[in-house]
Amino acid sequence: MSRRLLVVAMALTAGLMLMGSTATGGTSRSDAAQKTYTFYLVAGIASDSFYLTMKKGAQAAGKKLGVKVVFTGSTKAFSPPTQIPFLNGAIARRPDAILIAPTDKTALIAPIQRAIDAGIPVITVDTFITKRIAVTNVSTDNLGGGRAAARALVNAIGGSGDVAAISVNPGISTTDQRRDGFVAQLKKYPRVKYLGIQYCNDDQTKAQNQTAALINGNPNLKGIFAMNVVSGNGVTAAVTAAGKAGVVKLVEFDAGPPQVQALKAGKIHALIAQYPYGIGELGVQLAYKWVTGKRAGIKKHYGTGSAVVTRANVNSPKIKKFLYTP
């Protein structure tokens, strides 16, 4: 009985492994005659519509250029310990270039240096590292996005009142910049009182509880800035449950499908949408230029714009390209 079980278990495990490897479609050896390039895109967190949209842009650009783009990254957390194994795995496959969204400004310097030492050019996308060793950086101006959020929120609350903010965790370059931009811009409005920031650890239930406390504890609370998708989910749910949808104004970063629908329903006043598709596209194009020897004229940084999406402009074609399509 137990031996038969053992055999079944082993067969199952082997089957699963096989399934997994075919699902990722292990890189086949390229023909010596025709050089096809392989780039790896290491996401900050692979289970996020932002990076999934970036993947789409990267693969679309890759298709045009004859580059195979392999998407990888942790689905569990946006953190160096979960990301570095995926980067190391990418280095081991010896791709022609690596595009990576570093999950920490400094912790990723040494692992990225290892890739460069192995002769693999690296481009940072979305986030950056403080040492200038990457070929280039393609990212949203998060500082500017934070400032835009402050302007949109102050505008929504009519120029005066209390506002608060909810983010993931401190120490992430993108959300830290959004926070800094937001706080810096808020200082320009003397009639707006900033109640400070809460960190929800990317847990929508925690964000909901914090928002409930903010609403009930501050009768003058007029608006909240949620700095990413998951915090936004919790904030929107709490405001809706409290019967304050549209009364407490919400500005949220990112533009995934649930947020766009909440915007259309009048629960969210504005979304600050980045352009992940464009980041992926441009990242691959620049990497291709680099590996094919056209290195002249590549700048150290490329900013892809962000858009302030409101109910009024959400259906316009100019804005539509900014909405995330995982």
| Interface positions with another protein (CB under 8 A) | 5, 9, 45-49, 52, 75-77, 195-199, 201-206, 208-210, 212-214, 216-219, 229-230, 233-234, 237-238, 240-242, 256-258, 261-262, 264-265, 326
Q: Which residues of 60-85 are buried (b: 16+ CB within 10 A; e: fewer)?
A: ebbeebebbbbbbbbeeebbbebbbe
Nearer to another protein, 25 or 196 (CB): 196
Q: How far is the CB of 113 from another protein (least distance, A)?
A: 29
How far apart, in whole angstroms, are the C-alpha atoms of residue 201 and residue 206?
A: 8
Residue 52 or 67: the one with the smaller Cβ distance to another protein is 52
Q: Residue 289 CB, nearest distance to another protein (Å)?
A: 29
Burial of 15 (C-beta count, 10 Å sphere; 0-12/13-18/19+): exposed
Strands 122-125 and 161-167: unpaired
How far is residue 233's CA from residue 217's CA, in Å, rounded to a whole number? 20
Rounded to a whole number of angstroms, the minimum distance from the CB of residue 7 to another protein is: 12
Nearer to another protein, 196 or 297 (CB): 196
Closest distance of CB 133 from another protein, Å: 29
- Residue 40: phi, psi to the nearest 5? -105, 135
- Tell me if 40 sits within 8 A of 95, measured CB to CB: yes
How near is the Cβ of 73 to another protein at its closest, in Å?
A: 9
Give the whole-angstrom CA distance, residue 142 versus residue 185: 13
Sequence-distant (6+) residues with CB within 8 A of 12 are none
Residue 210 vs 274, nearer CB to another protein: 210
Burial 36-59 (b: 16+ CB within 10 A, else e): ebbbbbbbbbbebbbbbbbbbbbb
Nearer to another protein, 45 or 250 (CB): 45
DSSP 245: B
Least Å distance, CB 24 to another protein, is 12
Whole-number minimum distance, CB 237 to another protein, in Å? 5
Inter-residue contact 146 to 197 (CB < 8 Å): no
Between 80 and 258, name the residue whose CB sits nearer to another protein.
Answer: 258
Residue 118 vs 213, nearer CB to another protein: 213
